[in-house]
Structure 1
Amino acid sequence: MEQPGDPTAAPLPRFLDREASWLQFNSRVLDLAEDKDVPLLERAKFSAIFANNLDEFFMVRVAGIKRRIATGAAGATASGLSHREQLQRIWASTKELMNRHAVHFQDQLRPELAAQGIEIVLWNDLSKAEQDELYVLFRERIFPVLTPLAVDPAHPFPYISGLTLNLAVQVRNPVTQHEHFARVKVPPLLPRFIEVSEQRYVPLEQLIAAHLPHLFNGMEVLGCHTFRVTRNEDVEVEAEEESQNLLETLERELQRRRFGPPVRLEVENTIDPGVLELLVRELGIGEAEIMRLPAPLDLTGLFAIAGEDRPELKYPPFATAMHPDLVEFESGAGVDVFAAMRQHDILLHHPYDSFTTSVQAFLEQAAADPDVRAIKQTLYRTSGDSPIVDALVDAAEAGKEVLVLVEIKARFDEHANIVWARTLEQAGCHVVYGLMGLKTHCKLSLVVRQEGGKLRRYAHIGTGNYNPKTARQYEDLGLLTCDPQVGEDLTHLFNKLSGFSRTTSFRRLLTAPTGLRDSIIEKIEQEKAKMASGRRALARTARIRMKMNSLVDEAVIDALYSASQAGVPVDLVVRGMCALRPGVPGLSENIRVRSVLGRFLEHSRIYVFGEDLPSRGAVRTAAEPAQVWIGSADMMHRNLDRRVEALVRIAEPAHRSTLIGLIDTVFAPDASCWELGPDGDWIRRSAPEGVPTRDVQSALIAARNQRSAARRARMG
């Protein structure tokens, strides 16, 4: 593979580096924070999201690379880099991104917020009256919970919790003139920014620093500097441990997580060299892992600022609407979801379609309906006050058979899911934790209902979690259906998850880890075969479209390369990581890759093979309609090999057309998006001159609002 446009250049690897691709994704998030066309408080939120994303990247991805290097499992990656080379590039890229983020906050975001009356000020910027008022707050609410920890022969260097803000304090004994080091932890349960007056804030660490003499009575405070440590907080549970007691094993691992080794040290760029040397020595941090940044550190605190009640500085209000197919079945008692599903399949698109009046109503109706005999449900992540869990508890207490598969290994939700598992068990639900060595990531609900002399199965299969809160922020798809084939498929799949069934083939489902990758590759090969058939009418229907969060599986990428070489058009919408190089002559010139980021987090997965063309003449007999699948799986090793995933085939032509249209709209000339080049760089696209750029999500909101307005008009 030659360098694009330079036949004399050294060959490039077939695959882009996945970690570099993820960092480019987070760079696109930062683009939104810097975009002056985005409302100001939304920019503050994107700045916080950037910081939070990077924290998790270090806790999991960087920690994992360091672990592989330490254990000697440091072979070459698919991109051709060794893990050590990969880590060196990560350090360079993250330092550049973090500095860009910090400078943008200091030079752009902070002054623009101040211009709108939302100030983040330093202690010395406060008036004497404001400082006096904050002293009272410090004395009454902050001082009692602070614990200064000295470091000397009698006091070892304290444990530094991951992601906490800390003050490194230098003090001197006025009698002996000896200088000492102490650490003060900034309480994580207090607000990151303390409100001085309405929409005027001071960083909590500045308030504490201003009152350090009260913590070190009789000592001279020479200086203090904020620092922050990121630790390896990934949880690994070995398969042989799972055979003992997964719940107890995971609880032990969560305790160990707190004491993972450091992977990053953030410090103020004005830190005293001697203090930094002490931190580096005691934490065992290398020079490359030190991030020197202007204060304040930890800008995840901007989430609170973004929550200010200033609607004029946010996206216009948007209310989710009941799906049109459910509206006619609404009454004073609520919506009869079962009756609507008996009419036909219902394709949901959240957040444009309300989760509360569809999926949540479906499960609540199932829990209350005396004719429902059983409910089977997967839970990967849910909200803190989950109405989904409440419905399952109600169903069990009403005597229904309730099976819940709670994935207690869902990263960073492990503790919450353990609590949910115990709550459900206490209510009488059958709770299982899935299959050994696998995470259960599929999003499935199955309801069995007695109707006359027979049982009917109702199902929901989605791309997102059963979480009413994130359903208002994440773009996801779901299918409500009572199709007997889907019901039978889900029955077999749940039996496999809860018992010892070995079913591997289904009628309307594709599942991982047994066969999903092979099925996707087979369908790609079928499109390639159409193009190679020599039949023009059949070749016209050869087309591949995919929408997903990440594309890094080498076997799938190679199949897409092969299809491109055969002339098959391939359009890919990838929100995050993409290891495929598009647009490379002789390899991938027929592949386009775009990414959409915006108000909602694009989270749905759609896989389309073939083209729905008008049914006439030779085309009608030459090819079947397009196959369209939705579900929980991304094209990643973990999804295809180490998770239970499910895709469902969409049967109704109108639904297929809708889903194909969702992908095609991203490739319209006026669509606002980023496009991936063969060099691995993402370029933000703009519409042709004289044509206004169209935001894909805003267009979907406008279309939903128009349909809602038309419905209200019809109803009088």
Structure 2
Amino acid sequence: MNAPETIAPKPESGPTYDSPAERYVNRELSWLSFNRRVLAESENARYPLLERLRFLSISASNLDEFTMVRIAGLEGQMQRGIETTGIDGRSPRQQLDAIREQVLAVEDRQQASLETLRDLLRGEGILIADIAELDAEQQAWLETYFTTDILPLITPQAIDPAHPFPFVQNMGMGALFRLKRAKPKLDLMEMVLIPGAAPRFVRVPGEQAVYVAIEKLIVHFAREIFPGFKILGDGLFRMLRDSDIEVEEEAEDLVRYYRTAIQRRRRGRAVLLELDDDCDPQAELLLREEFNVDSAMVVKTGGMLGLRDLKAICREPRPDLKFPPFSPRFPERILEHDGDCFSAIKAKDIVVHHPYESFEVVVDFLRQAATDPNVVSIKQTLYRAGDQSPVIAALIDAAHNGKAVTAVVELKARFDEERNIRWASELERAGVQVIYGFMELKTHAKVSLVVRREEDGYRTYCHFGTGNYHPINAKIYTDLSFFTADPALGRDAGKLFNYVTGYVEPTGVEKIAVSPLDLKTRLFALIDREIAHARAGKPAGIWVKLNSITNMPMIDKLYEASQAGVEIRMVVRGICSLRAGLPGLSENIQVKSIIGRFLEHSRIWCFANGKDLPSRQAEVFITSADAMSRNLDRRVEVLVPITNKTVHDQVLGQVMLANMLDTEQSWELHPNGQYERMRETDGDGGEDAAGFNCHQYFMSNPSLSGRGAALEADAVPRLKLKDQDKA
């Protein structure tokens, strides 16, 4: 990717891109575009049926969170009279109008996808059924089940002057019934909230997998809830509430504040009311009045409410309808050291590529530190750790074994606040020093630091990650875990922890960069160097892999690089406010999004440094930060250089290059902000069976740094940039 010898001046008559809407894509609309790509996987005929259903549930879950946080935030701005515009210049009202139109279209498409999948699954012996289509024996079983297992959980609540409208919690679902009784004469409205303790879908016994939604059981057998009443009408509903938590800087006790805030979130302002198409008109009117939906969005559907819960059906034991099972590899190089993580890391840096390589390496690193008598201290950041966390267990064991253990627990991890408070309490009871970090900044960096006493003195072992210490996420998120005993990185990691725990701004940092202090500045300097190379006629290029890019200064800097002739290739899974391929602005920028079996989550920057990418001379960095203002300016993040030859080759020549070459799971971003699925075509215009699938490549081949001496170098197929054949 050689830069031109001379850079032609920008034509005076060319586009100027003065308008924000011409230069940038709205953040919220770009996110909705991402979720449409997720939803498209539910329509992907190449995928097994239950995996397609899982993508549908993921799309619905994503949309719920977007509604509870992003739509709620814009509505809150409007209510408070805040007119802050989006990156594209739209006001909150203009954004909401565009968002609501697209959300309704996505909801319709989700229901259409469900109907298609229901028909296809029926052909495979899995029914998501209406009760009326079941035989008498199945209906009789459901009636018995309702009486014994559901009815005891139900509390019907009358709605009249003596009984105020009941509270419906966030994501709560319920049914309203309009009832009449002749003697004594009585007309009333009753609400039945769907019990959270009951399964959303009931599986009818039998060889055929028959699932019935619990709300259908409640409506169908309502006569058993209301004996003596005539049911005049009914309606199903679901409620989403404002779920964001704003931190007040004057809060004296952050833990107590968050415990209270979590309770407030469950009672947040109504943001979305979902209704079934057949909802009784009087019930609908009551719901609209009680939930004050003048300021909320109302969605009526003839399909199913709460599609996120379809993930329960995906657990049906039908391996023929799921992706072939995949077992993560354990790096051979650590096994060659008899499983001794410290010995392997001391010998040479190593990067573990999740989920293709096991998260157990990370857990083993901490477990070994907890039991090793030579380990004197452990420091650990925790952003999301999951429900059953082996990482937490290892830290507790280390404290019990007399190690000095410090855990930085981030309470502001959205939707994990309650879990993190619980973990913090358990860690403190075990004797771990728990730090909550900054009031105004989230600590999002993923770092472990272990100090070990050895023959030649104390040695520091570090883990830097692009993802969380979450064992479940590590099975589906693509992330990098970098282990090193580099003394300089150890010293830098120590200064990072001192910054978080004691507000001591790091000085004399040798290798890493930390936001909000200098991470963005470091990236800008590296981009400026590529600009200088391009202007000098040298090869200049940037490869970057991120989850999102929305920061205007970063986008403008990449535009500047493109205009100078720097060739930029980006893999951005989610939100992308940058417009790629605009003549005179970003014609040297290519952007694609990879959506597939695994969730792309690692963040990587690669700079050509005067040579064609990929090359040994390139500078490579991994980071916990996306190119968003919150990551670069309002979070503690870390950028780590990769200098070890084998690890460098793996991250650049294996991980990044495979992402660049992927065609089977990639969507290309066009200048208008729209995405198109990439397809390799043969000479006749048909789909090429030889397309490249990066997930399949990683599942099939060992990593370079973890392969060990037992595997020859040529055991790992090398990739080429200019054609898609393996070397």
TM-score, structure 2 normalization: 0.92
Structure-1 separation of matches of 2:18 and 2:605: 34
Deviations 1:112-158 (A, max 9, x none): 11111111111111222212212221111111110111111111111
Deviations 1:351-410 (A, max 9, x none): 111110x11110000001000000000011112111111111111011110000011111
CA, structure 1 residues 436+113, in 2 after alignment: closer, same or farther (shift >3 Å)?
Answer: same
Alignment-derived partner of residue 220 in structure 2: 210
Alignment-derived partner of residue 422 in structure 1: 425
Alignment-derived partner of residue 565 in structure 1: 563
Unmatched runs of 5 consecutive residues or more in structure 2 = 1-9, 716-727
CA contact (8 A) 1:672 1:687 kept: no
The CA deviation at 1:688 is 2.6
The CA deviation at 1:271 is 1.7
2:679 is paired with a residue of what secondary structure?
Answer: coil
CA contact (8 A) 1:665 1:671 kept: no
1:684 is the counterpart of 2:677: yes
1:344 is the counterpart of 2:352: no
2:67 is paired with a residue of what secondary structure?
Answer: helix
* Paired residue type of 1:16: V
Alignment-derived partner of residue 656 in structure 2: 663
2:300 is paired with a residue of what secondary structure?
Answer: strand
Q: 2:666 aligns with which of 669, 673, 676?
A: 673
The CA deviation at 1:437 is 0.7
Alignment-derived partner of residue 486 in structure 1: 489
1:381 is the counterpart of 2:379: no
Alignment-derived partner of residue 52 in structure 2: 43
CA contact (8 A) 2:35 2:59 kept: yes
Alignment-derived partner of residue 654 in structure 1: 646
Name the Cα RMSD after superposition: 2.5
Structure-1 separation of matches of 2:17 and 2:33: 24
1:518 is the counterpart of 2:528: no
* Paired residue type of 2:178: Q
Deviations 1:327-372 (A, max 9, x none): 2112xxxx1000001111001111111110x111100000010000
Q: 2:30 aligns with which of 21, 40, 43?
A: 21
1:10-159 aligned at under 5 Å gives the runs 12-106=21-115, 108-159=116-167
Structure-2 separation of matches of 1:291 and 1:698: 39
CA, structure 1 residues 187+658, in 2 after alignment: closer, same or farther (shift >3 Å)?
Answer: same
1:440 is the counterpart of 2:443: yes
Q: 1:271 aligns with which of 263, 274, 279?
A: 279
Q: 2:590 aligns with which of 585, 589, 592?
A: 592
The CA deviation at 1:287 is 8.0
Structure-1 separation of matches of 2:610 and 2:122: 53
Stretch moving more, 257-266 or 316-325: 316-325
Structure-1 separation of matches of 2:662 and 2:394: 45
CA contact (8 A) 2:341 2:364 kept: yes
1:345-424 aligned at under 5 Å gives the runs 345-356=349-360, 358-424=361-427
1:435-474 aligned at under 5 Å gives the runs 435-474=438-477
Structure-1 separation of matches of 2:486 and 2:17: 56
Alignment-derived partner of residue 601 in structure 1: 599
Q: 1:285 aligns with which of 255, 269, 293?
A: 293
CA contact (8 A) 1:268 1:295 kept: yes
Structure-2 separation of matches of 1:709 and 1:506: 32
Stretch moving more, 665-674 or 153-162: 665-674
Instruction: Report how many aligned residue pairs link the two structures.
Output: 693
2:499 is paired with a residue of what secondary structure?
Answer: helix
1:637 is the counterpart of 2:629: yes
* Paired residue type of 1:202: V
1:318 is the counterpart of 2:318: no
Structure-1 separation of matches of 2:632 and 2:618: 23
Q: 2:544 aligns with which of 543, 546, 562?
A: 546
1:239 is paired with a residue of what secondary structure?
Answer: coil
Structure-2 separation of matches of 1:579 and 1:614: 27
CA contact (8 A) 1:381 1:413 kept: yes
CA, structure 1 residues 140+456, in 2 after alignment: closer, same or farther (shift >3 Å)?
Answer: same
CA, structure 1 residues 516+505, in 2 after alignment: closer, same or farther (shift >3 Å)?
Answer: farther
Structure-1 separation of matches of 2:711 and 2:524: 46
CA, structure 1 residues 88+339, in 2 after alignment: closer, same or farther (shift >3 Å)?
Answer: same
* Paired residue type of 1:499: G
Structure-2 separation of matches of 1:612 and 1:377: 37
Unmatched runs of 5 consecutive residues or more in structure 1 = none
The CA deviation at 1:660 is 2.1
Deviations 1:27-53 (A, max 9, x none): 000010110101111101101000100
Alignment-derived partner of residue 695 in structure 2: 697
CA contact (8 A) 1:669 1:687 kept: no
The CA deviation at 1:527 is 0.6
Structure-1 separation of matches of 2:325 and 2:164: 53
CA, structure 1 residues 446+29, in 2 after alignment: closer, same or farther (shift >3 Å)?
Answer: same
* Paired residue type of 2:51: E
Deviations 1:394-441 (A, max 9, x none): 110111100000111111011111010000000000001011211111
CA, structure 1 residues 591+624, in 2 after alignment: closer, same or farther (shift >3 Å)?
Answer: same
Structure-1 separation of matches of 2:75 and 2:468: 31
Alignment-derived partner of residue 721 in structure 2: none
* Paired residue type of 2:440: G
* Paired residue type of 1:567: G
Percentage of identical aligned residues = 40
* Paired residue type of 1:313: L
CA contact (8 A) 2:374 2:453 kept: yes
Structure-1 separation of matches of 2:608 and 2:707: 32
* Paired residue type of 2:218: I
Structure-1 separation of matches of 2:433 and 2:230: 62
Structure-2 separation of matches of 1:202 and 1:292: 21
1:704 is paired with a residue of what secondary structure?
Answer: coil
CA contact (8 A) 2:572 2:591 kept: yes
Structure-1 separation of matches of 2:703 and 2:382: 31
Structure-1 separation of matches of 2:643 and 2:398: 31
CA, structure 1 residues 8+443, in 2 after alignment: closer, same or farther (shift >3 Å)?
Answer: closer
The CA deviation at 1:170 is 1.2
CA contact (8 A) 2:389 2:470 kept: yes
CA contact (8 A) 2:530 2:609 kept: no
Alignment-derived partner of residue 237 in structure 2: 227
1:339 is paired with a residue of what secondary structure?
Answer: helix
The CA deviation at 1:710 is 11
Structure-2 separation of matches of 1:8 and 1:239: 42
CA contact (8 A) 2:548 2:572 kept: yes
1:667 is paired with a residue of what secondary structure?
Answer: helix
Structure-1 separation of matches of 2:469 and 2:541: 32
* Paired residue type of 2:458: L
Alignment-derived partner of residue 189 in structure 1: 197
CA, structure 1 residues 117+704, in 2 after alignment: closer, same or farther (shift >3 Å)?
Answer: farther
CA, structure 1 residues 603+273, in 2 after alignment: closer, same or farther (shift >3 Å)?
Answer: same
CA, structure 1 residues 93+35, in 2 after alignment: closer, same or farther (shift >3 Å)?
Answer: same
The CA deviation at 1:502 is 1.9
* Paired residue type of 2:658: T
Q: Which has the higher contact order (CA 8 A, sep 6+)?
A: 2
